Structure 1
Amino acid sequence: MTLFMTILGIVVFVVGLLFSIAWHEAGHLITGKMFGVRVPQYMVGFGRTLWSKKIGETEYGLKAIPAGGYCRLIGMFPPDASGKVQARSTSPWRSMIEDAREASYEEVGPGDEDRMFYQRKPWQRTIIMLAGPFMNLILAIGLLAVYLMGFGINKTTSTVSTVSECVVSADAKTDKCPADAKPAPGKAAGLLPGDRIVSFNGQKIGDYEKLQGLIRKSSGEVTLVVDRKGQKLTLKPVLEQNKMIKLDGDGRAVPNQYTTTGFLGISPATGIQRQSAAESVEFTSDIVKNAFHGLLRIPQKVPALWGAAFQGDERDQDSPVGVVGAARVGGEVAALDVPPSQRVGLMIFIIAGFNVSLFLFNMLPLLPLDGGHVVGAWWESIRRRIASLRKRPDPGPFDVARLMPVAYVVASIFIAFTVLVLIADLINPVKVT
């Protein structure tokens, strides 16, 4: 049964991946057609074509390797200064440029003279290229809303899980109470596991984060109202100052750093909680922000990734993960010994996270990514504006094809990184904890 669920989880992830890619390319397709660009092909996947059908002027299809997709727009690059595509040059850099230009004109036919991508206005090209990644962002927001408001997330609550026996410093080498230790304030006041703290010094408590902040800022006697099996009780513990682990601005523990704060002596219970619309917006913005910071930190993680792949080092849990690794995680999630609703919710969360990554990755201002074409369109607009202000002739469309050598270098780096991640995912994968 576990093997079946693992395979099912992998299949569900692959289907979600293919849908996400198709959804991305649909953004380019719809906006390209909207602005009059001819779109001869819309394909999901790479390699050998498994199925295709031509509808109107566009061939729609599915290919064998589910690792990407493309929407072919004719005339991505303008002709050179002579107004035509040149023959191949002996210069390897020039050959790259002319090969790219030639490929963009392969399917240009009679009647397409005014239907090429480069002929669209810069703002139209910007919309066409941004439509793909923004489709992923829209899908991610929708999936996260379903996950957060429909299924809920595992959060600490204001319900007491355990009550400490005594006051022990966070950096103590043992959890056992020394002979001279003071009783924990919560224990002395009569708090019991299962009590739900309703208010703290008159302030209503809805989650543990707020309660924790109030405890840490307080000292001396405080007033707690707790719900014990439906009965409201008022307790008055006297908080002690104790050496506790330091928290960062997001409430996460900072390893090996301590501070002196108020101490009650309880640990919270956890539970699945559905989020409100406002909480979902905040959570989603945090996901995008953290993913963005993670993308910026990828170069720093390459040495550790190399060590995990080839030197037997432990794989970091926040290590970059590729399609194979994500599919493996999807399989593990499906096989978890948790309620089915939680497994479905986690799978939705994984696919949403993948779409956030697709959005951010494609927004990078580098060719051959969508963001690179956007930068080319903006530079053309700026160049034309400057020429107009100086009353000089229109410089014409910016030849993005001239940047293809840079695009090949960028693509080579991406391919090398993808291979490294693939090896790490196969040899030393990130596992669900």
Structure 2
Amino acid sequence: MTIVWTVVGIAIFFFGLLLSIAWHELGHFTTARWFGIKVPEFMVGFGRTLWSVRRGETEYGIKMIPLGGYVRMIGMLPPAKGGTLGRNRRTGPFQGLMDDARAQSQMDVRPEDADRQFWTRSPWKRIVVMFAGPFMNLILAVVLFSLVLMGIGVPTATTQIESLEKCVLPAVAVQDGVPQECPAGAPLAPALAAGVQPDDRILSVRGQEFGPDDGTALQDAIRASSGPTPVVVERAGRQIPLTVDVIPNVLPARGSADPYATVTAGYLGVALDTQYTQLGPGDVAAQIGNGVVRTAEAITQIPARIPALFGAAFLGEERSQDSPMGVVGVSRIGGEILAQQDVPWQADVSRFLMMLAAVNLSLFLLNLLPVPPLDGGQIVPAIWEAIKRNTAKLLGRPDPGPVDAAKLLPVAYVFVIVFLGFSVMVAIADIVNPVRLFG
């Protein structure tokens, strides 16, 4: 049954990725149509077309390789300055490349479509069209974070005891959140030895009182304790004072980005019950801000992580939790989430939506990089064109005309080659040595 749920999880998350890509392209498509730009194609994926349908002047479809998508607008590049598209192809190292790209950009431009080309629109309209795609990913991330934080809520520890641990076990003896069997001769856990029972509610530790929802503060107080500690529990409506010998133990570190990090702290041997608490809009804004910062940091660290990724893909080296992942990796983790047993439905749905929100934040930031063929590769020339034209207008000089974005094509080709190589390496690592969130 676990295999079935894994496959279902992979399929659901993969479908979510395709929807995120289509949502991104919808931003480009809608704004382009608003500004009168002709859009012959709206595609999710690259390579051979698996399915398509034509509605009006646009063909909508799905292609074989799900590594992105595109909206093809006519006239993305302006004609060469001082020349026409009909002139002979130049033979310089990059000039021929640029001429071919300009010809490709103009292949769908009919005489009646001359005023519907992308490059003929004012710079601010081109910026809006190109920014709309990443902005749609940001909107989707905000919606997903809001559904989780304000709708489902976040798990919050209470002061109600859900279960007791039988013996003293360090954190390293806990796998996938489930304590392993007690070895022979292992000492009883302090709470069990002191007479604490399941379903007790801890009222105070060393005189510090706790309300029903103060589970986090209670955990902090226990971790800070040591030796014989007075504890008051509520059982069947009665308050029962106990003395528990809190001992030091190796426990999971709290608030660490590393899920396997440990610390030595006070140990009681109780598992507290949890409840889901809904948060407010301010918490969503803080989550989005933190997510943007973490995602930006992760993007800047990608070059430094390539050697480790190569080792994980081809040399059998251990793969770290923060290793870059592709479509295969994140979809597999979607299956891993759904395959977890004895987990509340809120936990599964929250993990799914949070991970999809993180993917959309990544798409938002990655596409703003000022490198063609990413969206930022068209936004930067449009901004530069607006600066040049406004400066010329202020100085009373002639209009300098459109900025030739075709000059960035050599950079685009290098980027595409590097990106494809990186994507292949990530895909291999995701298959042979995947990142595992649950051990």
- Take 2:356 and 2:316, find their aligned partners in 1: how far apart are those partners? 29
Find out whether 1:410 has 2:418 as its counterpart: no
1:214 CA displacement: 6.7
* Deviation, structure 1 residue 363: 1.8
2:382–2:403 Cα contact (<8 Å) kept = yes
- Which residue number corresponds to residue 105 of structure 2? 104
Q: 2:316 matched to 1:312?
A: yes
SS at match of 2:113: coil
Deviates more, 1:420-429 or 1:234-243: 234-243
- Within a 5 Å distance, the mapping from 1:73-222 to structure 2 comes to 73-85=73-85, 86-154=87-155, 156-159=157-160, 194-196=199-201, 201=208, 206-211=213-218
Seen in structure 2, the aligned counterparts of structure 1 residues 198 and 133 have a Cα distance that, compared at 3 Å, is farther
1:288 aligns with 2:288: no
Distance 2:167 2:333 in 1: 39
Contact map agreement 1:101 1:401 (CA 8 A) in 2: yes
Deviations 1:164-197 (A, max 9, x none): 999x9xxxxxxxxxxxxxx98x999987665545
Distance 1:294 1:228 in 2: 48
SS at match of 1:50: strand
Amino acid paired to 2:303:
P
Aligned mates of 2:344, 2:165 — CA distance in 1: 31
**CA shift in 2, pair 1:364/1:17, >3 Å:** same
Secondary structure of the corresponding residue to residue 76 of structure 1: coil
- What TM-score do the two structures reach when normalised by structure 1? 0.80
Post-superposition offset of 1:19: 1.2
Q: Secondary structure at the match of 2:94?
A: helix
The one-letter amino acid paired with 1:332 is: E
Say if 2:203 and 2:209, in contact at 8 Å, map to a contact too: no
Deviating more after overlay: 113-122 vs 388-397: 388-397
Flag as ranges the 4+ runs of structure 1 deviating above 4 A.
152-166, 186-205, 207-229, 232-248, 250-259, 263-268
Q: In the alignment, which residue of structure 2 is the partner of 1:333?
A: 337
Query: What is the letter of the counterpart of residue 336 of structure 1?
Result: Q
1:176 maps to: none
**Among residues 361, 368, 374, which one is paired with 2:366 in the alignment?**
361
Contact 1:33–1:39, Cα closer than 8 Å, also in 2: yes
Shift of 1:403: 0.8
- Structure 1 gap ranges (5+): 169-182
Is residue 45–residue 63 contact of structure 1 (8 Å, CA) maintained in 2? yes
**3-state SS of paired residue (2:79):** coil
* Aligned with residue 404 of structure 2, among 399, 407, 411: 399
Q: Which runs of 5+ in 2 are unaligned?
A: 171-188
Q: Is structure 2 residue 257 aligned with structure 1 residue 277?
A: no
1:34 positional shift: 0.6
Q: Show CA shifts across 1:87-115 (max 9, x none).
A: 43222322222222222111111222221
Aligned to 1:173: none
CA distance in 2, matches of 1:380, 1:8: 49
Q: Relative to structure 1, is the Cα distance of residues 393 and 207 closer, same or farther in structure 2, using a 3 angstrom cutoff?
A: farther
Equivalence for 2:181:
none
Q: Which of the numbers 343, 350, 354 marks the counterpart of 2:355?
A: 350
Provide the C-alpha distance between the structure 2 equivalents of 1:107 and 1:197, rounded to a whole number of angstroms.
73
Q: CA deviation at 1:275?
A: 3.0
Which has the larger displacement, 409-418 or 267-276? 267-276
Structure 1 residues 23 and 109: alpha-carbon distance in aligned structure 2, compared to 1, 3 A threshold = same
Tell me, yes or no, if the aligned pair for 2:142 and 2:284 is still in contact at 8 Å: no
- Please say if residues 14 and 66 of structure 1, whose CA atoms lie closer than 8 Å, have aligned partners that are also in contact: no
Q: 1:335 to 1:162 in 2, by over 3 A?
A: closer
CA distance in 1, matches of 2:225, 2:387: 57
Query: Contact between 2:156 and 2:277, CA under 8 Å: does it hold in 1?
Result: no
Q: 1:323 maps to what in 2?
A: 327
Cα distance change of structure 1 residues 367 and 222 upon mapping to structure 2, 3 Å threshold: farther
Q: Relative to 1, partners in 2 of residues 1:92 and 1:217: Cα closer, same or farther, differing over 3 Å?
A: same
Identity among equivalent pairs (%): 44
Cα offset, 1:305, TM superposition = 0.8
In structure 2, distance between residues paired with 1:253 and 1:320:
15
Native 8 Å contact 1:222 1:237 kept in 2? yes
State the partner residue of 2:34.
34
Residue 15 of structure 1 is matched in structure 2 by: 15
- Could you say which residue in structure 2 is the equivalent of 1:383? 388
What is the TM-score of this pair, normalised by structure 2? 0.79
